[in-house]
Structure 1
Amino acid sequence: MPRVSRKQADLNREIIVEAATRLFRERGLHGISVVDVMGAAGLTHGGFYGHFESKEALAQEACSRAFSHSLERWKQKIDDSGDQLSARASIITPYLSAANRDNPGESCPVTAFAGDMCHEATESGLHQTYTQGLEALLQMLTPLMGADQPEANRQRALVDYSLMVGALTLARATRGDALSDEILDAARAFLTVDDTTQKPVTPTL
């Protein structure tokens, strides 16, 4: 069998990471095997260890990639918004939507990996990657809170994002029942009310 070029090897590695990024978010770290990932990438199982030392090494890179995707999306939404309130709403509204609930493979890694991280050793590279990714998202969300003091913005961002993640997790856990939509609607309505007017904030399109 001919040896693949460095360019093709790099491309194959990229395909593997992207496939893993989607599958791990859809089915969890322990719901996916190396065979599953390589099959989704359209590659043979035997080629995996030419790219990664272990499934855990792939999981860490896939987790990092998922956070990079989320940060890029959030930055684009913020850049496209006219002010802090509409930028905040442009993140919250689609996050707490039925479409996002039903598409975990392209969704928030904080929610997707949270259950697995509860059982991950705190000193592991994967746990550290997750924590760093969460912190990066919080730092992007914090300036959108509208308070005068940085500490107040940080506290509100922590509360808001915790509610977002919790609501999305519960909505996925109850999918197929009317309660799922009710959870999303209630959380979205609560978080997108302008405190100064008590009116819902519509994100800038």
Structure 2
Amino acid sequence: MPRISKQDKARNRQNILEAASRMFRSQGIDAVGIAELMKEAGLTHGGFYNHFTSKNELAVEVCGASYAASLKGLAQTIEDGPDQAGSPLERVVAGYLSTEHRDAPDGGCPSASLATDAGRHSEAVQSAYAEGVEGYLTGFTAEFLREAEDKGRKLDPAEARHRAIRLLSEMVGALMLARAVRQVQPGLSDEILRTTRSHTLD
């Protein structure tokens, strides 16, 4: 039997990561079996252990990779600066609390989609989640300070951090609530998003 090339092995591993990222975020880590996951990745069940020692190891990597992608988007929005759609933070809030983000639980920010799972799983998973949360807080804090400086105002770094924590908490909480009631009360779901979008940065 021919040996698999390094390129094919790397591609298979990436397929597993991408499938796990979608499935973990939309269904929850515990709800996804390895056989189901490997089928989604287009691979055989037994091949899983050629890439990961356990589902927990995979969950850690998925959490880290999901946050890396999400934080890259945040960094790009901040780097782009203000435009006709508003300040960077206004655009972040608008995108995060959009119906498109709500209706795509298998993608987007893992802060909301993996929150419950992170609290139930290993310290390694929680550490990867916490690192991602810290990434958001760092980005938000820096942007609050930059906005204040641009307006000629002095903002204490501790206060900027407090604002960042409130902002992330409100965004994540609103998205989780909106997703939880979307199918049975779509109007309420929309109202949660709309109201939070309107007042989060007040």
Query: How high is the TM-score relative to the length of structure 2?
Result: 0.89
Give the whole-Å Cα distance in 2 for the aligned partners of 1:150 and 1:173: 35
Is contact 2:136-2:168 (8 Å) kept? no
Which whole-Å CA distance do the structure 2 matches of 1:31 and 1:76 have between them? 33
What is residue 166 of structure 2 aligned with on the other side?
A: 159
What is the root-mean-square deviation of aligned Cα atoms in Å?
Answer: 1.4
**In structure 2, distance between residues paired with 1:64 and 1:37:** 18
Aligned amino acid, residue 158 of structure 2: E
2:198 aligned partner: 189
Q: Which has the bigger relative contact order, CA under 8 A and spacing at least 6?
A: 1
Instruction: Give the secondary-structure state (helix, strand or coil) at the position aligned to 2:89.
Output: helix
Aligned amino acid, residue 36 of structure 2: D
Letter paired with 2:96: Y
> 1:26-61 CA deviation, whole Å, 9 max, x = no partner?
111111111122111111111000000011111110
1:128 paired residue number: 127
**1:63 matched residue in structure 2:** 63
**Separation (CA, whole Å) in 2 of partners of 1:82 and 1:183:** 26
Question: Where in structure 2 are the equivalents of 1:71-90 lying within 5 Å?
Answer: 71-82=71-82, 86-90=87-91
Q: Which amino acid aligns with 2:52?
A: F
Residue pair 2:179, 2:189 contacting (<8 A) in 1 also: yes
1:149 CA drift (Å): 1.3
Consecutive unaligned residues of structure 2, counting only runs of 5 or more, are 149-154
Name the CA distance, whole Å, in 2 between partners of 1:16 and 1:117.
20
Task: Quote how far apart the aligned CAs of 1:120 are.
Answer: 2.6
Give SS of 1:30's match. coil
Q: Percent identity?
A: 41
With the length of structure 1 as denominator, give the TM-score of the two structures. Answer: 0.88
Q: CA deviation at 1:192?
A: 4.3
Q: Which runs of 4+ in 1 moved over 4 A?
A: none
Offset, 1:107: 1.6
**2:105 counterpart residue number:** 104
Superposition deviation, residue 2 in structure 1 = 2.1
Show the counterpart of 1:2.
2
